[in-house]
Structure 1
Amino acid sequence: MTRQDKAETPISRFATLTFERALPVSRGVAWQTWTAPAARAIWAAPTPSVVVEFLEADTRVGGREISLCKVDGQDDIRCECGWLEIDPEVRSVNYEGLSSKGEQMSTALVTADFAGDADSSHLAVTVQLSARSDDLEAGYRQGFEAGLAHLAAVAARTMVLQRIIKVPRSIVWKTWIDPEILPQWWGPNGFSCRTKRIDLRSGGEWVFDMIAPDGTVFPNHHQYSEIRPEDRIAYALLWGENGPKHADAWASFEDCDGGTKVTLGMVFSSEAEFREAKGFGAVELGMQTLGKLERMAQSR
């Protein structure tokens, strides 16, 4: 069979796959873990032997996500996802296409339904699959089972904070991204920042000390992997300059009744670090930080 003949082979295998997963987190956290690009980049690789490289991510109706799945000794698999329906914390629908070396392997319609409350949630995923071979159906089943197990583990160490700020998104964004303004409000009540260097761009960094009211110094290092104007910021949090990473974080900004809905998410490096952070009041301290952001934005 020539390469051209192979490329023209029709996709003729059809299957409907269903998956369910109970998650020990709120529906809001489950939703953010499922949809936020920074979180998806963490749990998308089902095993340590698989590397998923995200090339593009735009999680909104009409947006798309493109990634490469890489395994040593095998051809890369390109995954293109397009978002068709997004009903926050209720349902998402997307198409998904897999290809390798320019040849289409499969297409699928993926529907995710969320239920639950403030303490626990339930995720049900339906995959309507068209594939070239039965092997791909088995691979989809194995991949989704492993991926959802990984998602559950990531969700269990994810913290999500949200605040509605009654200021237009453009002003909130400028308050966050201005290197002169950010250090003035960042941190809980009573804390101050001492900046060593700051470069707020994709690939940039912020090296600074957080200084507590009692004078205790907490070295910090933020490494920015993505900054999309007035949309989202993704960054890694390190314990001090080039120190160990303790979380991957993101901030997103959405229009909300003339104001701005700000979401601050953090996937901690381990459940132990998540429990420690929650134990010393990270939720309350984080909400204080978002409160300072609001007051600063309102004053501009």
Structure 2
Amino acid sequence: MSDRIATLTFERDIAAPPDAVWAAWTAPAARAIWASPAPSVTVEFLEADTRVGGREISLCKVEGQPDIRCEISWLVLEAQKLSVNAEVISCEGKTQSVSLVTATVTGDDARSRLSVTVQLSSLAADMEAGYREGFNAGLDNLAGVAERTMILQRTIRAPRSAVWGAWVNPETLPQWWGPDGFSCRTSRIDLKSGGEWLFDMIGPDGTVFPNHHRYHDIRPESRLGYTLYAGENGPKHADAWASFEEDDGATRVTLGMVFATVSEFEEAKGFGAIELGHQTLGKLDRFVTAE
């Protein structure tokens, strides 16, 4: 059995700050984007709860082959620094491997290094080659996702239930959404998994910006995931999520967006999307705390 025990190491230097790399590594919406190691592989997430004690369950599917089940248990999460998780791989009810995965993130405002160590025990067969191939492909994908990810955060001095309620109430969301001076004109809104929000954002000068959000992952008072389109059924703009964490009586809100391409991400930064996004979270803060 000793010849089936291996320690594998992987490193990537990524042109993105640590918060973007950490989000790509841990946020369920981002993990779903890069998880597939090849176009022929489909990854279906059955469960995703990224917190200490939480777990992630996914099925790796290749046409004509039995599904591979991956179950992750999160053991340590130190934001933007360190994660440790246990991973069990099985196929047709038989455990193939067990591993301990440790990831560290270091860097500055422009670049990061992601270091991953996998302590692998192969059970049904020697899994080392498959792990090397899978992790190398996945981390290459992750680097591409991180380099087009925008992360915005704000701590709001209000209970999580109040902040969540302002976001998922169809009456209140249009009241605060958007940067300073912008308003929303809603055509239809259904804030649930499988629902959508079709609306126009109207700028201070009257310019109309068509928007279409499609919601696919809503976990009460925890997170919501959605896809942004430029108008009804228009071009995809970004995959996005918002998460809500208790923080000593307050609520830490994280808004993440993975743009369709790096060029679109750079273009968004160029016209001030980061500043405008912070204005939006500021409006949410004022809306909730004024109540």
TM-score normalised by structure 2 residue count: 0.97
Q: Distance in 1 between the 2:137 and 2:124 partners?
A: 20
Tell me the equivalent position of 2:224. 233
Tell me, what secondary structure is at the counterpart of 1:164? strand
Q: Distance in 2 between the 1:68 and 1:11 partners?
A: 28
Cα shift at 1:132 = 3.2
The partner residue of 1:77 within 54, 59, 68 is 68
Q: Distance in 2 between the 1:28 and 1:101 partners?
A: 37
Tell me, what secondary structure is at the counterpart of 1:15? strand
Contact 2:225-2:240 within 8 A present in 1 as well: yes
**What amino acid maps onto 2:33 in structure 1?**
I
Deviations 1:149-183 (A, max 9, x none): 11000100000001111111111111111110000
The partner residue of 1:214 within 170, 195, 205 is 205
Cα shift at 1:12 = 7.0
**What amino acid maps onto 1:187 in structure 2?**
G
Cα shift at 1:103 = 1.1
Q: How does 1:55-204 map to 2 (within 5 A)?
A: 55-132=46-123, 135-204=126-195
Cα shift at 1:298 = 0.6
Cα shift at 1:225 = 0.5
Tell me the equivalent position of 1:297. 288
**What amino acid maps onto 2:130 in structure 1?**
G
**What amino acid maps onto 1:296 in structure 2?**
F
**What amino acid maps onto 1:28 in structure 2?**
D
Deviations 1:38-82 (A, max 9, x none): 000001112211111111000001100000111122211110000
The partner residue of 2:196 within 202, 205, 217 is 205
Contact 1:62-1:82 within 8 A present in 2 as well: yes
Q: Distance in 2 between the 1:257 and 1:75 partners?
A: 46
Find out whether 1:285 has 2:269 as its counterpart: no
Contact 2:61-2:68 within 8 A present in 1 as well: yes
- Report sequence identity in percent: 66
Paired residues, what number? 291
Cα shift at 1:133 = 5.9
Tell me, what secondary structure is at the counterpart of 1:187? coil
Where do 5+ consecutive residues of structure 2 fail to align?
A: none
CA RMSD of aligned residues (A): 1.3
Tell me the equivalent position of 1:245. 236
Q: Distance in 2 between the 1:124 and 1:225 partners?
A: 31
Tell me, what secondary structure is at the counterpart of 2:232? coil
Tell me the equivalent position of 1:263. 254
Deviations 1:75-116 (A, max 9, x none): 111100000111111110001111111111111100001111
**What amino acid maps onto 2:70 in structure 1?**
C
Tell me, what secondary structure is at the counterpart of 1:287? helix
Tell me the equivalent position of 1:7. none
Q: Distance in 2 between the 1:171 and 1:140 partners?
A: 43
**What amino acid maps onto 1:269 in structure 2?**
A
Cα shift at 1:134 = 5.9
Where do 5+ consecutive residues of structure 1 fail to align?
A: 1-9
**What amino acid maps onto 1:77 in structure 2?**
I
